[in-house]
Amino acid sequence: MTADNLTLVRHPLVQHKLTILRNKETPTAQFRQVFREIAFVLGCEATRDLALGAVEIETPLERGSFPYLEGKKLCFVSILRAGNGFLDGLLDLVPSARVGHVGIERDEETLQPKLYYFKAPDHLSERQVILLDPMLATGGTAIEAAAALKKAGATRIKFLCLVAAPEGVAAFGEAHPDIPIIAAALDRRLNKVGYILPGLGDAGDRIYGTKG
């Protein structure tokens, strides 16, 4: 299943690196390094339509007008904690980008996702915002994070993940039809406890080595 709101990045380097991330034998240090690399390539896709203006400069040979990014600096927003895995690679690509963080936890009573932390740069309404979470599973966390960004003024948002489940793509698309999703893969489905199959396991645990 593919959806209108989903772009799959089929670049061979992305697919190769994703296989390394999926492999349960990949050690933590390599996982982090490869995540950094895949983030860089996915970042190229996520930023492909940034607005370009022009600037007058002199090359060593002559003067001319050349393309130059215009507008406010773009903003990466990490959904804690696994979204942080994207930051090194994306900041390699766009070192001047601003960075925000969103923390979402499950409310013990309602079992619904609940915002517990939000910090984002000023002038969100004037920035391209790229929301980050490696796994789009049920979509609950990403939906809540995107809603918090909109509440804070963001109008141009993209959602970047590594692996998406059909259930998450559908739910996110219904809640935020204006937000494109960019992913390296659309996997089969969720299991009973909300993990993506075949997936890569718990992305936070794989990045930070907090299990095994």
Nearer to ligand URA, 35 or 47 (CB): 35
- For 209: left if phi > 0, alpha if psi spans -120 to 50, otherwise beta; the answer is left
In the DSSP assignment, the letter for residue 74 is P
Other Cβ atoms less than 10 A from the Cβ of 162: the count is 31
**Residue 36 annotated among the catalytic residues of the structure:** no
Within residues 108-167, the interface with ligand URA by CB under 6 A covers 135, 137
Catalytic one among 19, 106, 107, 210?
Answer: 106
Read off the amino acid at residue 199. G
Among 42, 186, 203, 207, binds ligand URA (CB under 6 A): 203
Among 88, 126, 167, 202, binds ligand URA (CB under 6 A): 202
Buried b (16+ CB within 10 A) or exposed e, 40-67: bbbbebbbeeeeeeeeeeeeeeeeeeee
Among 20, 93, 195, 208, binds ligand URA (CB under 6 A): 195
Q: Which residues bind ligand URA (CB under 6 A)?
A: 82, 135, 137, 194-196, 199, 202-204
Active site residues: 106, 110, 202, 205
